[in-house]
Amino acid sequence: MSTIQETTAETQAATVDAPPKKAMGLGRTASWVMLIILLALPLFVRNFVIFQMTMLLIYGIAVLALNILTGGSGQFSLGQSAFYAIGAYTAAILIEHGGVNYVLTLPAAGIVCFIVGFLFGLPALRLSGIYLALATFALAVAMPQLLKLGVIEHWTGGVQGLVVTKPDAPFGLPVSQDMWLYYFTLVVSLAIYLASVNLLRSRSGRAMMAIRDNEIAASAMGIDLSIYKTLAFGVSAGITGVAGALGAIAVQFVAPDSYTFQLAIALFLGMVVGGVGWLPGSLAGAAFIVFVPNIAEGISKGLSGAFFGVLLFVVIYLVPHGARQGAIYAETLFNKLRRS
Amino acid sequence: MPVIKRPAAVISAALIVLATASSAAFAQKKYDSGASDTEIKIGNIMPYSGPASAYGVIGKTEAAYFKMINDQGGINGRKINFISYDDAYSPPKTVEQARKLVESDEVLFIFNSLGTPPNSAIHKYMNAKKVPQLFVATGATKWNDPKDFPWTMGWQPNYQSETRIYAKYILEHMPNAKIAVLYQNDDYGKDYLKGLLDGLGAKAKTMVVAQDSYELSEPTIDSHIVKLKASGADVFMNITTPKFAAQAIKKIAEIGWKPTHFLNNVSASIGSVIKPAGYENSQDIISAAYLMDAADPQWKDNAGMKAFDDFLAKQFPEGNRLDGSVMVGYNVAQTMVQVLKQCGDNLTRANVMKQAASLKDYTPTNLLPGIKINTSANDFAPIEQLQLMRFRGERWVLFGKIISGEIGG
């Protein structure tokens, strides 16, 4: 009996290792450099690249949301694509059927997804670890079919999906639609990033991390497990919903085929590659899921999946803790150089 | 020095020179980005990975065909540069790849991108950019809309027209039929279903006694078949993709149901459906076709089929002869080459679209005899004809006339 308990404790510790509180964010210099790059780069590249960068930010938000759930509270979800889809459809339906301004659809999508996530989180609480992952996985698999249901077809456009109008820059600003949408997304991402870092540094964040590290100890300290676990689920779902809404606006189209469980796997992958529990790594993870398939395809069309697998394997093998490990390595190198 | 005495003559001579010069300018080569004296850049998006990766072979066939054209000297001296990207059948990825093709690779147009959801995702973008989205590889009805989307054109007969043809046949020969329908729950299945219901018109309510749908992810559809049999129907409308079509044919024989069986063209392949389901189970199934089936012995000595086999042997030995997708890719690529030939030296996007809309009685090598490709400024549906066929022995027997299934016709 005791051995079993020990091994489970060990595996838990291994799957989600605990980054110290300070390591949740980036150093000050690195943050500014990153911000300047993100602000300046679009001025020098083509619209197509700007679009890719917008998608990078959007997936970055979605990966960050999963990171709060897994890295923050230690729960697994393979169902993020479902919340992403709900957010996307909320935005698309509000814009196309309701004539709502696209800016307002983001909080709407966030709130809808928060509620759905919270409600889904309630029963799912009784599950832990891989069982919760499977329950959410079921949600991801069911979602594309639910979107096709005849009852709501009038709203969702059924299998044909919905086309979303792309917003122009406001106040007659002389920038292209793509550039405007990029900076808009950047502002939203920064707001979400700062809020998330603060959340994890706050009382609630500490409570979540205590649950992640040891549930029994956390409850002994007086932390209400169910509230904090569902809260983490709801917040994660809500942020994913905002990402989905942004995605719908950027891609200008929603359809059930856009939100299959492959998206959920991709987001999970992004989190692992970026470093579990390290929020800035979300961007690196998003870069992996946006650009590496293109690289793999460039190597071979027929075997793109296999090459993607090889590249993933290389990353996991060389830097098992994802981009965080790379960042720590870079930091020590930088400090060494400064000292010498 | 001779003095010019007749200024009028000088002026008229000058005018003549000017006129010839300008007409020479008109005959000069005209290009949009993606075309030059030596090259025509064609973009393409295919699901080489993901759930629909079986269709990726269409892109490979096209690449092999264009390579053959290049080896033969290209089109009017220009080589085709065929740039094909993978979108894994995911619409957001399609948007990314289409933008890469148009804005980064600067192709002249995008050709035969596959699937209804992916093409829907870039429909608006391509038309806003005024870049042709030619001969898309989907049978949805919406691609034939030259008024609202003048830069998009389909190729294959649309799904609705096929079931309309079946409806016409049922109304004519079996006015008292009780129809059971099984369809795939996606854009393709629903489009087919709509064609059937529209074709039956007011009688659809009484004639269709059972409708059932299945998901692509289901391992078997046996239970659906049993359920449909219980409805007491005597006509079975089989709107399924190859794997499920074979299952359905087998199951129907197994449980001793003997309806008049209509099988959609998507699954009319002898190699991948009929043979696995068993010839004895497939007798008298009715279907419709526009392309020759490579597994059908009646085309063995046909010149078009010989050309196809020759192409496979020399250019594309890894292609599976019995795979219907290879046949589609081979013929749609021919249509594209025909359009580019018609363009001559005027390789602007507008002219590519204009020539694609000016195909007159064009026949790629493997259309059924009598079926022709016709397009016009108001008709963006290249293939609109089909012929009914019935399975006898080990092959399809064509019967009846070539039928046009134009929507609204």
Answer yes or no: is B322 within a domain: yes
pLDDT, residue B231, reads: 93
- Cβ distance A293 to B88 less than 8 Å, yes or no, reads yes
Domain match, B252 and B392 both = yes
Domain match, B226 and B134 both = no
Answer yes or no: is B34 within a domain: no
- Cβ distance A247 to B186 less than 8 Å, yes or no, reads no
Chain A contact present for B186, CB below 8 A: yes
pLDDT, residue A6, reads: 40
Answer yes or no: is B33 within a domain: no
Domain match, B170 and B140 both = no
Answer yes or no: is B333 within a domain: yes
Q: Is the ipTM of this complex over 0.90?
A: no
- Cβ distance B117 to A148 less than 8 Å, yes or no, reads no
- Which residue in A has a C-alpha nearest to residue B217's C-alpha? A141
pLDDT, residue B176, reads: 92
Query: How does pLDDT run across B221-237, given as a tens digit for each residue?
Result: 999 999 999 999 999 99
Interface mutation target, options A137, A166, A253, chain B, most CBs of B under 10 Å? A253
Answer yes or no: is B352 within a domain: yes
Chain A contact present for B51, CB below 8 A: yes
Residue A202 Cα, gap to closest chain B Cα (Å): 36
Please give, one letter per residue, the 3-state secondary structure of chain A.
CHHHHHHHHHHHHHHCCCCCHHHHCCCHHHHHHHHHHHHHHHHHCCHHHHHHHHHHHHHHHHHHHHHHHHHHHCCCCCCHHHHHHHHHHHHHHHHHCCCCCHHHHHHHHHHHHHHHHHHHHHHHCCCCCHHHHHHHHHHHHHHHHHHCCHHHHHHHCHHHCEECCCCCCHHHCCCCHHHHHHHHHHHHHHHHHHHHHHHHHCHHHHHHHHHHHCHHHHHHCCCCHHHHHHHHHHHHHHHHHHHHHHHHHHHCEECHHHHCHHHHHHHHHHHHHHCCCCCCHHHHHHHHHHHHHHHHHHHCCCCHHHHHHHHHHHHHHHCCCCHHHHHHHHHHHHHHHHHC
Answer yes or no: is B32 within a domain: no
- Which of the pair, A151 or A109, is modelled with greater confidence? A109
Kindly report the pTM of this predicted structure. 0.82
Kindly list the residues from chain A whose CB atom is less than 8 angstroms away from the CB atom of residue B90. 257-258, 260, 262-263
Partnered with residue B39 across adjacent β-strands are B79
Query: How does pLDDT run across A169-189, given as a tens digit for each residue?
Result: 777 777 888 899 999 999 999
Domain match, B271 and B310 both = no
| Percentage of residues of chain A with pLDDT beyond 70 | 92
Of A48, A161, A302, the CB nearest to B117: A161
- Cβ distance A55 to B124 less than 8 Å, yes or no, reads no
pLDDT, residue A148, reads: 82
Mean pLDDT over A19-47 rounds to: 77
Domain match, B65 and B180 both = no
Domain match, B139 and B254 both = no
State which residues of chain B have pLDDT below 70.
1-27, 405-409
Per the structure, the count of domains in chain B is 2
Domain match, B181 and B141 both = no
Query: How does pLDDT run across A114-136, given as a tens digit for each residue?
Result: 999 988 888 777 777 788 888 88
Average pLDDT, chain A: 85
Interface mutation target, options B95, B159, B212, B318, chain A, most CBs of A under 10 Å? B95
pLDDT, residue A12, reads: 43
Answer yes or no: is B26 within a domain: no
Locate the domains of chain A by residue range. Answer: 27-259
Of B60, B95, B104, the CB nearest to A46: B104
Chain B contact present for A145, CB below 8 A: yes
Domain match, B176 and B239 both = yes
- Cβ distance B186 to A159 less than 8 Å, yes or no, reads yes
Residue A73 Cα, gap to closest chain B Cα (Å): 30
Query: How does pLDDT run across A78-103, given as a tens digit for each residue?
Result: 989 999 999 999 999 999 888 889 99
pLDDT, residue B9, reads: 56
Of A251, A252, A297, the CB nearest to B85: A297
- Cβ distance A253 to B121 less than 8 Å, yes or no, reads yes
Full domain range(s) for residue B349: 39-157+301-378
Domain match, B171 and B245 both = yes
pLDDT, residue A16, reads: 53
pLDDT, residue B197, reads: 94
Q: Quick check: A11 pLDDT over 50?
A: no
pLDDT, residue B114, reads: 93
Domain match, B151 and B164 both = no
Of B49, B100, B187, the CB nearest to A304: B49
Domain match, B167 and B78 both = no
Q: Which CATH number covers residue B190?
A: 3.40.50.2300
Q: ∠B113-A253-B332 over CA atoms, to 5°?
A: 10
pLDDT, residue A337, reads: 83
Chain A contact present for B117, CB below 8 A: yes
- Which of the pair, B139 or A338, is modelled with greater confidence? B139
- Which of the pair, A236 or A226, is modelled with greater confidence? A236
Phi, then psi, of B131 in degrees rounded to 5: -115, 125
Domain match, B65 and B204 both = no
